Structure 1
């Protein structure tokens, strides 16, 4: 199946909100003792179908978060948003992290765990069911969630790929 080439999304065109998913302290043992450095995984989104994640590393927490935000703005993707939920069920995988995302009825809310919740809320989903299976490492969970959202297809994309009318997609 051929992938449709997506044009990159410019961070300057949209108003993005940032969420820090996890901050990790790393120690390097040197002659004089331990040197600490920090890594931060950050998710940015406009709440209307655009989301991205980034990783920042620095000697200070604030610098790591800033670097993570800059990285996230470079990796933005457009995800399908259908009445506040996803168009269909989807599995996502990255490393040891597996996620399952399902559409939900209006009023359900975002039923998802920590790292997944940050990605889904930043993307703008208001009613969604999500389950994280496998690794609980926030890096893998965020990347698996983005992987699942990247593979989502709305009805318009399906009709274009099959070269049929939109009504035929629903009627079979």
Structure 2
């Protein structure tokens, strides 16, 4: 009897995990192949960089290494799901304000954009924006084009993003007071 319960509980837990995982989309940003020369020839290893998001403001990235590509991607995806961040979006489609991010030699500039602009960004940054659910953003990468540094610099910028509601609560004011002339009637997320 106890065995049946544990099996059922395990199955239920696994189903919940699969359901939770299904809400996320994962994008493979980069795969790096390295070779180790050994007596019999070469041994190949793979490193994968993956971005995971729910397209509703949560996003994360991860790095995984293994002898085969699928295993490296699986490890990277698990790592990405452990380190999710929440990004406040204006109207669920763009940033609240322009921001710069930096990681090592990778520098990025992210700018808000009017509706219909789309995602104007290079490869690794585009994967992050699509995963987070942004529809309108203009981004420029300056400095390193290394995908790891670009993704980390983009995350650095997104972590600095604040919503008018958060600023208003921190200052003890109303959202309309914080927004001022720009559009006090617009309710911010």
**TM-score normalised by L of structure 1:** 0.90
Q: 1:161 aligns with which of 146, 152, 170?
A: 170
Rg larger for: 2
Contact in 2 for aligned 1:23/1:41 (Cα 8 Å):
yes
1:39 maps to which residue? 47
Whether 2:23 is the aligned partner of 1:15: answer yes
Tell me the SS of whatever aligns to 1:44.
strand
Displacement, 1:165? 1.6
Whether 2:89 is the aligned partner of 1:81: answer yes
- Mean CA deviation greater in 143-152 or 23-32: 23-32
Using a 3 Å threshold, how does the CA distance of structure 1 residues 13 and 64 change in structure 2: closer, same or farther?
closer
2:34 maps to which residue? 26
List gaps (5 residues or longer) in structure 1. Answer: 1-9
Whether 2:62 is the aligned partner of 1:54: answer yes
Tell me the SS of whatever aligns to 2:32.
strand
Displacement, 1:28? 1.6
Displacement, 1:116? 0.2
Stretches (4+) displaced over 4 A: none
The 5-angstrom pairing of residues 47-126 of structure 1 reads: 47-83=55-91, 84-126=93-135
Using a 3 Å threshold, how does the CA distance of structure 1 residues 41 and 99 change in structure 2: closer, same or farther?
same
Displacement, 1:48? 0.8
2: distance between equivalents of 1:57 and 1:100? 30
Q: 1:127 aligns with which of 108, 128, 136?
A: 136
Higher relative contact order (CA 8 A, sep 6+): 1
Using a 3 Å threshold, how does the CA distance of structure 1 residues 87 and 14 change in structure 2: closer, same or farther?
farther
2: distance between equivalents of 1:54 and 1:88? 26
Contact in 2 for aligned 1:85/1:127 (Cα 8 Å):
yes
Q: Which has the higher helix share?
A: 2
Displacement, 1:40? 0.3
- Cα RMSD of the aligned pairs, angstroms, is 1.7
Count of residues paired in the alignment: 163
**TM-score normalised by L of structure 2:** 0.82
